[in-house]
């Protein structure tokens, strides 16, 4: 069955420290991959997406993600977090054929330690 | 400004009292969908619509109805709400219907069914 796993429910990092959020997927073929961020009281906002080509993709707010086909992973990274990065982060996968088949992970809540 | 507008943002109501959550978009997007977000479960799709008068069930459609009479509007209807429908609901839109496009989310509607 197709699935998306975000193994970390909650992560706390110090401001200025580096960050990596994990995402693993199970899919029949290489899907389209997304990371979204949800700030408190708001909807999800697209951070970045991967379709093909360079496996390291850059997104907004200084985030990047690396697609590793051999590990079925699409981990999100940021070299130095800011207090404003505290939010919930969702990984999502979708086939080319239809947006209706999109699957979201269960989310990782990020807290920032001053 | 591109917007997905949901109303109401918050609602507390009682079991069995019909309610409608509206969703309106100004981006002329073909695809619209409804999700519910529950702790530890991520976002689960309730219904989606590929275009006017074209709707279909998502993963958790029981207890919900939708309609798409106009391109910009996609209301979610709970004919007889029950406590297990207490959740945070999001409307999302995207251009086209393929999985390669990012989705644009409303700010959410928090429903409490007593």
Mean pLDDT by 10 residues, chain A (114 residues): 91 97 88 93 92 91 95 96 96 81 92 94
Q: Can you give the pLDDT at residue A11?
A: 97
d(CA B43, CA B38): 7
The answer to whether A67 and A57 are in contact (CB under 8 A) is yes
If pLDDT is split at 50, 70 and 90, which confidence band does B67 have? very high
* Chain B residues touching residue A36 (CB < 8 angstroms): 105
Instruction: Find the mean pLDDT for residues B47-63.
Output: 95
Instruction: Find the mean pLDDT for residues B28-42.
Output: 93
User: Which residue has better confidence, B1 or B33?
Assistant: B33
Q: Considering Cα of B90, then B102, then B98, then A32, what sign does the dihedral take?
A: negative
* Chain B residues touching residue A100 (CB < 8 angstroms): 33, 45, 48, 50, 56, 58, 97
Which of A97, A98, A105 lies nearest to residue B42, judging by beta carbons? A105
Q: Can you give the pLDDT at residue B50?
A: 92
Residue B104 pLDDT more than 80?
A: yes
Interface of chain A against chain B, CB under 8 Å? 4, 9, 31-32, 34, 36, 41-46, 49, 51, 90, 94-102, 104-107
d(CA A36, CA A47): 5
Provide the CB-side half-sphere exposure for A35 (13 A, CA).
30
Instruction: For strands A108-113 and A10-14, give the pairing.
Output: parallel
d(CA A24, CA A27): 10
Q: What percent of chain B has pLDDT over 70?
A: 100
């Amino acid at each position: 069955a197709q699935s998306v796993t975000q193994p970390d429910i909650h992560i706390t990092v110090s401001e200025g420290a580096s960050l990596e959020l994990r995402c693993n997927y199970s899919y029949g073929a290489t899907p389209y991959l997304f990371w979204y961020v949800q700030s408190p009281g708001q909807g999800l906002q697209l951070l970045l997406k991967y379709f093909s080509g360079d496996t390291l993709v850059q997104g907004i707010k200084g985030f990047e993600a690396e697609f590793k086909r051999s590990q079925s992973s699409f981990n999100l990274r940021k070299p130095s977090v800011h207090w404003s990065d505290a939010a919930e982060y969702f990984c999502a996968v979708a086939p080319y054929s239809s947006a209706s088949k999109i699957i979201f992970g269960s989310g990782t809540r990020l807290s920032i330690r001053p | 400004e591109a917007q997905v507008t949901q109303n109401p943002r918050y609602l507390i109501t009682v079991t069995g009292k019909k309610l409608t959550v509206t969703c309106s978009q100004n981006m002329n997007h073909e695809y619209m969908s409804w999700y519910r977000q529950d702790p530890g479960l991520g976002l689960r799709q309730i219904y989606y619509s590929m275009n006017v008068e074209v709707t279909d069930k998502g993963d958790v459609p029981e207890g919900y109805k939708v309609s798409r009479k106009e391109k910009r509007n996609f209301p979610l209807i709970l004919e007889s709400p029950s406590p297990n429908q207490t959740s945070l609901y999001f409307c999302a839109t995207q251009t086209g219907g393929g999985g390669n496009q990012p989705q644009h989310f409303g700010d959410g509607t928090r429903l409490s069914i007593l």
